[in-house]
Amino acid sequence: MNSRSLARALLASVALAASIVLAGCDTDQVSLATNAKANQPVPPKLVAAMAEKDMDLNSPILIRLFKQEAELEIWKQTRSGQFALLKTYPICRWSGDLGPKVREGDRQAPEGFYSINPSQMNPQSAYYLSFNTGFPNAFDKALGRTGSQLMVHGDCSSRGCYAMTDEQIAEIYSLGRESFFGGQKAFQFQAYPFRMTPVNMAKHRNNPNMAFWKMIKEGYDHFEVTRQEPKVDFCEKKYVFDAAKAPDAKRDPVFDASAKCPAYVIPEEIASAVREKQQRDEAEYNKLVAKGTPVARLNTGIDGGMNKIFAAKIPEGSTGLSEGAEGNTLQMLAMAKAPGTIPGTVNPPKPNLEPVASTPQDEPVVAVSAPATNTRVASVAPAEKSGGFFSNLGRKMGLSTADTTATTPPPQATASVTPAPASTTPPTAASRLKAAVTRFVPGHDKSKDNAVAAAKPAETKVAATRPALKPSVNDGAGDTASSSGGPLAGAAPVVSSNSFDSRFGAVK
């Protein structure tokens, strides 16, 4: 009897090992859930927060994530059956642009609705701990989108994933683990470009991804009005939320992401609540557009984003495409405690150096901002042999336009120059220089300055260029430290009989 029980346990372990063939951004190996990192208990402070919000430790969870805000939310089901927000985690790093992932290697972090089951949890990640988002889902596959091993993991390093600190992913992982132990088959992962508010929709109204964003906003609205995990289906290469069997149907509708949608209905209590919310949102959106709400700039070449709490603690830190903070705000945040350990190898968002021309034609059009047309970058040409002291000195000071070469076409560069008053003898560089010098001489008649100023071309200040950012982080550089397998500092001892594989084996 004992030998048969041992054999069953060994077979369960082998099955679990085979099911966890996951990777932390393409670098992880087959693993067993028998390490201390994967079995850390939920922190007592978080357990206390659950009790305050009428949640059970093993109740189902749901995750929402927002790129622009660089935040990840953990929602947990209360004893009433609805979901309530448990905790919001700032995201340490995400890569790519606002918009969905389209192809393997585009560095895009996915957007949309995904389902995370126990086999997608990776306790042996090279990035401390991780779970696979499940990209591509049926909708992505129907559109021919490609990509693999898109994770939420630790180590604050990303090339298509959502990266947290090790301490953060330890908490998130433990919450997912406990929900599985409580019987949840899979938890929903919702990834958005930004919070789907009228203000954000108005700001991004010219983005080529707007049609897709309006489609996933439908699911966002379903969750907002019901506080229930929306049922997700796909047909005709689109998302369908909370679809139910039609009253006269004999069986539940069968959905195929690439096929025609079957007959279905959305329960009226959900449909009416969503409709009312969308009408309010549309009215607010129209007001914002009518009053000229500025449109957000499209991709400026910056690769991804970082929450401001992390950017404030990194030399030359930048929030990139995430909502930033400037000046005093960043200085104040630098004094706050970071939510976890920031690796020394972390790199803030930086410009994408790939040429724009390499973007395939079927990708969303990305507008790259060009330098202002009235900016002139001039280089001084060799001085002429004649002209005298004041003339030569004038050239060195940029008062003569005859010896400069501008990078912008001459008509654009001089379009803002005010024509000089008609004169039979235009002022020379030497005379302009003498006038400039004599303005500082006591007793100088300033009434003569107007003629000199009118003859001088308008100048455009060129903003000082920031120092070049550090090179890209070698994504494998932090693997050794981040996959050590030991518990976090201050973690409670782990009871071996409460391990992931033993408890999950019982549930499975």
CA distances from 46 to 56, 86, 351 (A): 11, 8, 38
Active site residue 156: no
**Which of 153, 156, 204, 235 is the catalytic position?**
153
How many Å apart are CA 505 and CA 135, to the nearest integer? 26
Cβ pair 153, 133 in contact under 8 A: no
How many Å apart are CA 157 and CA 130, to the nearest integer? 12
How many Å apart are CA 235 and CA 238, to the nearest integer? 6
Sheet holding 187-192, edge to edge: 83-90, 71-77, 61-66, 187-192, 112-116
For residue 309, is it left (φ>0), alpha (ψ between -120 and 50) or beta?
Answer: alpha
Cβ pair 118, 501 in contact under 8 A: no
In sequence order, which residues have a C-beta less than 8 Å from that of residue 411 and are 6 or more positions away?
none
Peptide bond into 426 cis (omega under 30): no
What's the DSSP call for residue 110? P
- The alpha carbon of 493 is separated from its chain's Cα centroid by a whole number of angstroms, namely 35
**Which of 25, 161, 204, 235 is the catalytic position?**
161
Strands 151-153 vs 379-380: parallel, antiparallel or unpaired: unpaired
Neighbours of 15 (CB within 10 A): 14
Q: Which amino acid is at 429?
A: A
Active site residue 444: no
Q: Which residues are catalytic?
A: 153, 161
